[in-house]
Structure 1
Amino acid sequence: MKQIGFVECVGCALVGVLVALCWPGLRTMPVAASAGVPLLAAGLVEAGLGSYLRARVRDNRIGVGPGLVPPVFVARAGALAAASVFAGAFVLGFWAALGMDALLHKGQLLIAERNLPGGLIGVFCSAALVAGALWLRRCCRAPHGGHDDPRGGASSGAGS
């Protein structure tokens, strides 16, 4: 699996900031305080799936057969985690820009004062999504490396 880079995540967050800053009428759009809660739910689900898969990988219960988790499921969970990290970073930047704008214009616009709690909750929930996705991504790795392990881990092939 390719490592998720810090630069890519920051880039996604900056794009989210730019979208929020360039969106006409965003300041005057009311934001519910619960608007970010689905991101929190997704982050918790991904963290729980990561813990489940970590236990399965640790106990060597990955494979084809009854009581085993198929390897393709683990690979798809890793792909979901990678996509969620980037989507969460984008939305984190968006919510951060919205919250910062609300904080800066709190005394000037009544709607900005009302949007501040929603912006802060959105930042927290987006950060939870990124954290849950990073945990899931980490839990989907092979325990002793593999053929494409850049750290030179032992492969599980017959020639080892």
Structure 2
Amino acid sequence: MKQTRPRDLFAVGLVVAVLANLGIRLSYGSLPQIPLLAGATFGVLGIAEAIAGNALRARIRRRPGTEPVQPLVAARAVMVAKASALAGAIMAGVWTGLLAHVLPQAGEITAASNDSLSGGIALVCALGLVAGALWLEHCCRTPDDEPGDEPHGRATGADHP
């Protein structure tokens, strides 16, 4: 399984941002006001994943006083991290698309000003989810997977042409 690449998440977020912006431009007048803490749940999930990542990292590295991690638990944590990173990137794209529409109008329209604040908070929380998910995925790596280690026991450098 390959590690999630931030550039892939950025690409997903960018495509979603463009699509969301187009949809919002067409329907903004008929949308209800966005609650101030609409995206806060994503921030809470990001924090929870970062905390879980730290706990799993200690267990994977078999630090004293911790129980070893069952391989299936680590695999499930990686899958949660990958799904959360993708969901966070998608939602960051949605909030970016909203902000691209409402920020220019925030000085003139009260609803746009309120939605700008809500969208900004939600965007930060969605990016927090992405960060927490990437950290959780990183923490689930075994010490053998750390950078600088040779994959599959192969040597690098002068040993290979």
Name the TM-score, length of structure 2 as normaliser: 0.81
> For 2:104 and 2:129, how far apart are their aligned partners in 1?
26
The residue aligned with 1:64 is none
**Match status 1:4 vs 2:7:** no
> For 1:82 and 1:36, how far apart are their aligned partners in 2?
19
Shift of 1:84: 1.1
Distance 1:107 1:145, change over 3 A: closer
**Match status 1:152 vs 2:146:** no
Contact 1:12 1:90 in 2 (8 A): yes
**Match status 1:70 vs 2:70:** yes
**Is there any run of 5+ residues in structure 1 with no aligned partner, and where?**
62-66, 156-160
> For 2:89 and 2:30, how far apart are their aligned partners in 1?
24
Equivalent position SS for 1:13: helix
Contact 2:3 2:137 in 1 (8 A): no
Shift of 1:77: 0.4
The residue aligned with 2:159 is none
**Match status 1:48 vs 2:46:** no
Shift of 1:69: 2.6
1:97-121 Cα deviation digits (max 9, x unpaired)? 2123211111343211110110110
RMSD: 2.3
Identity of aligned residues (%): 33
The residue aligned with 1:158 is none
1:48-82 Cα deviation digits (max 9, x unpaired)? 11001001011169xxxxx4431101011011111
Higher alpha-carbon deviation: 30-39 or 2-11: 2-11
Contact 1:33 1:117 in 2 (8 A): yes
Give the partner amino acid of 1:26. Y
Map of 1:78-117 to 2, 5 A cutoff?
78-117=78-117
Shift of 1:19: 2.9
Equivalent position SS for 1:15: helix
Name the TM-score, length of structure 1 as normaliser: 0.82
The residue aligned with 1:125 is 125
